[in-house]
Amino acid sequence: MSKELQTSNSQLPKANTQRATHATFRVWRGDANGGQYQDYTASVVPGMVVLDAVHQIQATQANDLACRWNCKAGKCGSCSAEINGKPRLMCMTRLNDLPLEEPVTIQPMKAFPPIRDLVTDVSWNFEVKKKIKPFKPRKPDAADGTWRMAQADVDRVQEFRKCIECFLCQDVCHVLREHALHPEFIGPRFLVYTAALEMNPLDSEDRLGDLKNQHGIGYCNITKCCTTVCPEEIKITDNAIIPLKERVVDQFYDPIRKLLRVFS
Nearer of residues 77 and 216 to other proteins, judged by Cβ: 77
Shortest separation between residue 102's beta carbon and other proteins, angstroms: 21
Kindly state the smallest distance separating residue 158's Cβ from other proteins, in Å: 6
SS3 track for 60-108: HCCCCCCCCCCCCCCCCCCCEEEECCEEEEHHHCEHHHCCCCCCEEEEC
- Nearer residue to other proteins within complex by CB, 109 or 197: 197
Contact between 46 and 16 under an 8 Å Cβ cutoff? The reply is yes
Q: Which is nearer to other proteins, 150 or 262 (CB)?
A: 150
Residue of 199, 189, 187, 185 whose CA lies nearest to 247 = 199
Name residue 205's amino acid.
E
Nearer to other proteins, 204 or 223 (CB): 204
Nearer to other proteins, 119 or 211 (CB): 119
Residue 181: CB minimum distance to other proteins, A: 23
Nearer to other proteins, 48 or 240 (CB): 48
Distance (Å, rounded) from C-alpha 205 to C-alpha 190? Answer: 16
CA distance 103 to 26: 6
* In the complex, minimum distance from the CB of residue 123 to other proteins, in angstroms, rounded to a whole number: 8
* Minimum distance, C-beta of residue 68 to other proteins, in the bound complex (Å): 7
* Nearest distance from C-beta of residue 220 to other proteins, angstroms: 22
